[in-house]
Amino acid sequence: MAFEKPGQFFGRAARQGGHKQLFVAVVAVVALALAACTSTQPPTPGESDIREVLETAFENIEDRYAGDVTSRDLSIDGLNALADADPVLRIAVADETVSVIYDDRPLASWKSPPSRAYERWAALCANAMAVSLQESTTLSKQGREAALKRFFRGGLANLDQYTRYATPGEAGLTRARREGFGGLGITINYEEGRTSIRKVHAGTPAFKAGLQVGDTITHVGDIPLMGLSQRSVVARLRGPVHSLANLIVHRPGAPGPLKINVIRAHIILPTVETKQDGNILTIEISGFNQGTSRSLGKALAEAEREMSGGLKGIVLDLRGNPGGLLDQAVAVADFFLNDGRIISTRGPHRRANQIFDASWGERVRKLPIVVLLNGRSASASEIVAAALRDSGRAVVVGASSFGKGSVQTIIRLPNGGELTLTWAHMIAPSGFSLQGHGIIPAICTSGEEERLGISRAMAEKNAAGLRFLRMHLAKRQVNRHDPNRARKLCPPSKEKPAEDLAVARFILGNLSIYNQSLKDGGPMIAEH
């Protein structure tokens, strides 16, 4: 998961050089000047488009990637990956030349540019790809976009696992998850070609039009949905904001098909769900998109109104949350902090070194908080957990988190695709790197022994429970200087055991245990 906005690195409360500022790292709009290239073949159709994509990618990788990589490295690895698609296609790299050879016949040759001459390497690769596509039946059948994807897969293979290329189609889907899309406001079930409504989100066009859970959508306009792929169905249901979707719906109990017209609106997928259990509010955040902090603010305001000051504690459930937008993680943490550090980032690019501090003022002042994590809690969710743990604001319960402590920025490419590029690493307020370590809970529930012991402790109530939890915390305390060992003692389980919520409610109902957990379950010791 990446946590970023296309073309932007967020920082609502960022400081650089000691000055607060709004920081936006705008993706460079490259002047697409065409580099000269010596070739035995003239440029072929499509070469210019490919060149623009590669030029944008190479420039940004050389400038922003959190590691040392050259356009030559990317080019040679990418061209070799392209050649692997056809057994008789070969890229020959000599000291000063790069050649394309097909069935032992030299097709074209170019003089090798300097390693960091990204414009010239982009031109060379674009020509080589165009020639290969023209000559290779295998590549031509797959098409230009498939060849470009193969090239990037090879070119980026030696970089970190989070740096990747997305085709225009793939990029469109991920943008929709981050930024929203023109749609109806429903969640669908797709089974054996049948499209039924699993959820209708409140306040959306679907809700206002009267669509219901259990409805089966058979047609959008004149197009039947049966037989279409799930991706095609989603594409039919979505469309431009304010456009009309004419649906034919089968509803259980209705005498016949229903014709329902829905005006599409900008839909941001919901990521926040709340549940009140007595005087405890459980907030589950499934991801961090553009609507997350706004939804959280509404949920907290509603809970405050309904409970009229009777709220005694909050469970922030981040289990299974893979991350999302950095600015949203900062904003969510800020709801629960009055001041202090939220996260900082470090990288070779000067703009990658950022500090994010709390600034809004705490919305839930003095309320005890428990954060739930598991092995699928990553990235932006780890930012929130680290900020609340290190500030002494929350007790972390569950399993060790994933340990994704890198920051990505997204580069929009001229073909509509995207390059997700790692350019910094995250540092917790305590000074500890999140990469590979993640967040280690104060109270671990990822082992069967731990779950049984915790269940017995809670059954015995206050005094016995306190003794058990103190022993458990002491076990972890021994390993504060050894995060790898501590992580092994609390492995990153992907499960969501019921014990997590039970422990959270138990310690929120016993302030002495909660306070002891805060004291003994603080941050790991930063490496120096």
Measure Cα distances from 8 to 12, 35, 59, 180, 353 in Å.
Answer: 12, 28, 16, 16, 14
Report the C-alpha gap between 130 and 111 in whole angstroms: 17
User: In which residue are the tokens 């992580």 written?
Assistant: 487
Confirm whether 446 is a catalytic residue.
Answer: no
| DSSP per-residue codes, 228-285 | S-HHHHHHHH--STT-EEEEEEE-TT-SS-EEEEEE-EEE----EEEEEETTEEEEEE
Q: Considering only CA atoms, which of 307, 209, 333 is closest in space to residue 259?
A: 209
Q: Is 525 exposed, middle or buried (0-12, 13-18, 19+ CB in 10 A)?
A: middle
Q: Which residues pair with 262 in a beta bridge?
A: 245
User: Which one from 75, 379, 381, 493 is the annotated catalytic residue?
Assistant: 379
Question: How far is residue 372's CA from residue 433's CA, in Å, rounded to a whole number?
Answer: 20
For residue 517, which phi and psi values (nearest 5 degrees)? Answer: -65, -40
- Distance, in Å, from the CA atom of 241 to the CA atom of 72, rounded to the nearest integer, reads 43
Q: Is the dihedral of CA 528, 334, 24, 378 positive or negative?
A: positive
- From CA 410, how far away is CA 67, in angstroms rounded? 17
The catalytic residue among 77, 215, 334, 390 is 390
- 390 as an active site residue: the answer is yes
Say which DSSP state 5 is in. Answer: B
Dihedral angle, C-alpha 437, 438, 439, 443, nearest 10 °: -70
CA–CA gap between residue 519 and residue 272 (Å, rounded): 29
CA 32 and chain centroid, separation: 30
| Cα 51 → chain centroid | 29
For the record, the structure tokens of 270 come out as 């919901």
* DSSP, res 214: T
CA separation for the pair 355, 336 (Å, rounded): 18
Residue 464 tokens, joined? 């016995």
Burial class (CB in 10 A: 0-12, 13-18, 19+), 53: buried
Catalytic, out of 357, 377, 404, 500 = 404
Binning the chain into helix, strand and coil, the percentages to the nearest 5 are: 35, 25, 40
Spatial distance between the Cα atoms of 113 and 104, rounded to a whole number of angstroms:
24
Quote the crossing angle between the two packed helices 144-155 and 47-64, to the nearest 10°.
20
3-state secondary structure of 237: helix
Where in the sequence numbering do the catalytic residues fall?
Answer: 379, 390, 404
